[in-house]
Amino acid sequence: MPSTFQRQSVGDFKYHVGISSLTQVASRDDRVCVLNILGGESSEVTPVSHVYSGGNVVCGTAPGKGGSVLETSIGNIPVYNNVRDALAAGHRFNCGVVYLPPSAARDGVAELIRVNAELRKIFIITEKISVHDAREIRAMGQQNGIDIFGANGLGVADSWNQVRIGGALGGDKPGDSLRPGSIAIFSNSGGFSTTIAQYLRMAGWGTTTVVSSGKDVYIHYAAPEFAFALANDARSKAAVLYCEPGGFYENDATFTKPVVACVVGRWKSKLTRAVGHAGAMAGGSDDAQAKERWFMEKFGVTELFTPENPVVSSKGAVVTNIAHIPAALTAVMRANATMPDFPAEGNLALKPWFGSDEGLDLPDELRLPVVEALAPYNEQVALLNTQIGGVVPRQTMKDASGASQMDAKTQVSSLHGTTMLNAATFALESNVALALVHDAGGENDRKLIAPAIAAFINLYGRPELAAAQASREAGNAPNAVLAAAAAIVGPKRQEAARAALKFMIERFHVAGLGMEFGASLSEDFEIARVDVGGQPGLTTDTPDARAQALIAGVEARGGRSVFLRWLQSLPGHPTEAAVLAALCATLAWGPLSRKRISRATAESFPWWLQLFGTLIGASTDASKHEPTRFSGIDQPELLGKLSLGEIAFAALLGQIPGEDDLFAFQTLVGLLLTNGPGAISAQGAKGAVSADGPEQPDRVQLNKALIGFLTHTGYAHGGNGY
């Protein structure tokens, strides 16, 4: 085994150091063998390093997988069972990278050293290596004159040589962070090595060599030897060090060039256990404040550098916030009559890529406007933003939608976050909205829901009325009567409205209708922006009476809708389906654009409204349905004046209610909105729908769901058959 006196030791260190200049850390001549090259992390990271470096990985090992390869865009890297086999196959290398798990890392180091006489450097990426093994790794390296980097590090990179060895410094695009310049970086944190390189670029400073040292108890290539190599590297004019508490390394370093030292970790003096960085630990004479003092002494400054108090000397500055590094460096270098390497590339100001205030009253300084992300992220964000409506995560089939919940302590149920006690105070229209678009909505919503449902209550001449009546006369329970009516109102009845609604949503989204509150009834929105081409069925040549009656009802109530406004601006006469679609679009737009509901939920809205109207109508005897009247109420009054609560009351009890009666009625309905999760009635609905295989949304039959619900409620349970 070769011994130390065959390998030159540099400097006057008490231990072996082989590297005399930073140019030797990651050079174009280095050839690399990666241990455990096919492991999860290495298989992602090694190809990137290999390509960036122009192909410096000559081979790798993976026990039992000899003969396979690691693919890269510039050619495959051969894999062997062990290092000896790799050498026997003719490969030669001077660097080893260790990606082995913690218990195997030490033996990997031993193998590299024993088997390959040409080995000069080892880079250990593995974290959580035991101190026991770290001691032995250090001793083996020292005895054989090997420079070791790490452990728990991210390797090294050199911007001038365009070489990266070891780990993922600079992420999957090292070139984005590593621009040649005059600053060397030494960092205890792997992630921050890249971050600091980026921050420096923003301020106009490029890099020479970047070293990620790790922060274990044993740091094998530490600040003293880095300082030495820095002194001997003509390319580097200065360095940035990022240090954490623990270890006397930095105290022993002698700097001959300007340095900005960032020391982070004062809070760690309070800990009794390490978090994240094994060596960065609790209060001793090598804690964060001690390190700050060491550096301040070396640089001849008496205070830390902050933008408000920019204390520097020509030897350096000390910061405790990485954001201050660029300014500190520029100030130090100015004191050395040196300008930045290139013009500033940008800034690090806050730039949110996504944001939402949810209508809250936040102070201006917290309402940061969303900005366009830098390329290529901006394209990805734009693509993401074309999606409207929420996406429900895949869940295993359970009664677990979360729509209905019950408070364990009070036994009070809630629907979409509204308790039944609150729902009992709402108008019937609001509870319809709560159930269907998850939001009770406001006054305008009520003005749209009432006529929309009312339009389908009078069933004169329709088969569903005949079906309900026949069922009633045969002595069926009330819910069976309703079910009979519901069974008729199938998919074809709402096809046109659904298609129109889908169309409207898409076109208005493209035209830029916003998601702020009130957007869907806005008077200002330019309806001309909405492209109308290619959708049949929105208008007809001859007036549609039902459509006109519905519009009249909405206008009589003072309801507003940008969709209806647009529809009326089109040539021809609106169809009933289109009007219904426009009202539904108005109601669904807010929850849809705020991602509370999915597209499928929004598009089902017309069908639900038809069904509710049908059920209210079918709940009363056929004799109450007359050509122009329902339960003695004229159609225009039904559509344009009465509230839904009043109409429903009249249907059930034969007269328009007074204030107290209406109150009692709506309270009752509100209280019964949900019995909590897992109720038998809900199971009935679910069973009916799942029988058709709801993975294909067009197979879902909402009226069937209602029938399932109705048939599973009766005299004994389920709201006592109401």
Partner 1 sequence: MQITGMLHGARLLEFAGFPTTDVLGPAASEEEIKAMLDKHGLIFIKPVFKGGIGKKGKAGLLGRAKDLQTALAEKERLYFAEHQVGHVKAKANGVTFEAGVPATHEVYFSISDSTHFRAPTMTLTHMGGMDIEELDKSQVAMVPFDPLTGLKAFVVANALTEIGAPKEIISPLVQQLPKLWELFHNFGMTTLELNPIRMREDKKGRLTPVACDFKCGFDRDDPRWLRLKLPPHLFAADYSNFEQEINTLRTHQGQSDVYVINDKGTVLAPTFGGGANSLVTEMLGDAAIISSDFGGNPPYEKMKEVARICFKHWLKQANVLFIIGGKSNNTDIFETLRAMADALREHFSAHGPTPLYVVVGRGGPNLVRGMGALRDTCDALGLPYRLFGFDSDMSEVIQFAKKIDLWMRDGGRAQVAQRLGIEAPATTA
Which residues in the 123-162 window bind partner 1 by CB under 8 A? 127-136, 138-140, 143, 154
Segment interacting with partner 1 (CB under 8 A) among 230-238, 301-309, 388-396, 453-461 = 388-396
Q: Judged by CB under 8 A, does residue 348 bind partner 1?
A: yes
Q: Which of 20, 72, 405, 476 binds partner 1 (CB under 8 A)?
A: 405
Q: Which is nearer to partner 1, 271 or 301 (CB)?
A: 271
Can you tell me which of 1, 275, 339, 716 binds partner 1, judged by CB under 8 A?
Answer: 275
Compute CA distances 61 → 38, 69, 99, 215, whole Å.
Answer: 8, 10, 10, 26
Q: How many CB atoms lie within 10 A of CB 348?
A: 13
- Which residue among 121, 201, 237, 277 contacts partner 1 (CB under 8 A)? 277
357 binds partner 1 (CB under 8 A): yes
Q: CB nearer to partner 1: give 482 or 597.
A: 597
The H or E element spanning position 132 is: helix 131-143
Q: What ranges in 415-539 are assigned the alpha helix state H?
A: 420-423, 428-437, 443-454, 463-473, 478-488, 495-510
Under the binding rule (CB under 8 A), the answer on residue 517 touching partner 1 is: no
- Interaction residues for partner 1, span 234-263 (CB under 8 A): 242, 244, 246-249, 252
Nearer to partner 1, 11 or 537 (CB): 11
Does 602 bind partner 1 (CB under 8 A)? Our answer is: no
272 interacts with partner 1 by CB under 8 A? yes
Interface pick for partner 1 out of 374, 600, 653, 680 (rule CB under 8 A): 374
Binding of partner 1 by 198 (CB under 8 A): yes
End-to-end CA distance of the chain, in Å? 92
Please report whether residue 352 would count as binding partner 1 according to CB under 8 A. yes
The yes or no reply on residue 474 touching partner 1 (CB under 8 A) is: no
Q: Does 601 bind partner 1 (CB under 8 A)?
A: no
Of 7, 31, 65, 266, the one binding partner 1 (CB under 8 A) is 266
> Would you count residue 470 as binding partner 1 (CB under 8 A)?
no
Whole-number Å distance between alpha carbons of 512 and 524: 13
Phi and psi at residue 218, in whole multiples of 5°? -95, 115
Coil vs helix vs strand at 359: coil
Paired tokens of 575: 């169809």
User: What residues between 42 and 81 interact with partner 1 by CB under 8 A?
Assistant: 44-45
Asked if residues 95 and 30 have their Cβ atoms less than 8 Å apart, the reply is yes
Q: Does 201 bind partner 1 (CB under 8 A)?
A: no
Give DSSP secondary structure letters for 248-296.
SGGGG---SS-EEEEE--GGGGG-SS--SSTT--SSSTTSHHHHHHHHH
Instruction: From 116-124, 169-177, 523-531, 599-607, give the range in contact with partner 1 by CB under 8 A.
Output: 169-177
Q: Which of 290, 335, 368, 570 binds partner 1 (CB under 8 A)?
A: 368
Query: How far is the CA of 386 from the CAs of 359, 512, 522, 580, 599, in angstroms?
Result: 22, 11, 22, 26, 13
Tell me: does residue 391 bind partner 1 (CB under 8 A): yes
Q: 356, 569, 628, 655: which one contacts partner 1 (CB under 8 A)?
A: 356
Q: Which stretch binds partner 1 (CB under 8 A): 449-457, 529-537, 592-600, 653-661?
A: 592-600
Residue 168 touching partner 1 (CB under 8 A): yes
Per DSSP, 441 falls in state -
Comparing CB distances to partner 1, the nearer of 95 and 140 is: 140
Q: Contact between 286 and partner 1 (CB under 8 A)?
A: yes
| Among the residue ranges 380-388, 460-468, 493-501, 660-668, the one whose residues contact partner 1 (CB under 8 A) | 380-388
Task: Using CB under 8 A, pick the residue from 321, 336, 569, 720 that binds partner 1.
Answer: 321
**Residues in region 93-122 near partner 1 by CB under 8 A:** 101-102
657 near partner 1, rule: CB under 8 A: no
The DSSP code for 625 is B
190 binds partner 1 (CB under 8 A): yes
- Cα–Cα distance, 582 to 564 (Å, whole number): 5
Cβ neighbours, 10 Å, residue 152: 26
Amino acid found at 398: K
Residue 280 found at the interface with partner 1 (CB under 8 A): yes
Compute CA 52 distance to the chain's CA centroid, rounded to the nearest angstrom: 30
Q: Pick the binder of partner 1 from 74, 88, 344, 400 (CB under 8 A).
A: 400
Which C-beta is closer to partner 1: that of 245 or that of 708? 245
> Judged by CB under 8 A, how many residues of this single chain contact partner 1?
114
* 10 scored as a contact of partner 1 (CB under 8 A): no
Q: Encode burial over 211-229: b for 16+ CB neighbours within 10 A, e otherwise.
A: bbbbbbbbbbbbbbbbbbb
Minimal distance, residue 436 CB to partner 1, in Å: 16
| Separation CA 184–CA 233 (nearest Å) | 10
Tell me: does residue 466 bind partner 1 (CB under 8 A): no
Which pair of tokens denotes residue 91?
Answer: 């490969």
For CA atoms 538, 544, 547, 552, give the dihedral sign: positive
268 near partner 1 (CB under 8 A)? yes
Q: Which residue bears the tokens 């209708």?
A: 513
Question: What is residue 103's three-state secondary structure?
Answer: helix
Q: 431 and 674 in contact (C-beta within 8 Å)?
A: no
Considering only 58-66, 363-371, 564-572, 578-586, which stretch makes contact with partner 1 by CB under 8 A?
363-371
291-320: contacts with partner 1 (CB under 8 A): 320
Residue 690 binds partner 1 (CB under 8 A): no
CA 650 to chain centre: 50
How far apart are alpha carbons 101 and 96 in whole angstroms? 15
Smallest distance from the beta carbon of 487 to partner 1, in angstroms? 33
Distance CA 434, CA 428 (A): 10
Please, which residue, 190 or 478, has the CB nearer to partner 1?
190
* Least distance (Å) between residue 134 CB and partner 1: 8
For partner 1, the closer CB: 239 or 650:
239
Distance CA(133)–CA(171), nearest Å, equals 28
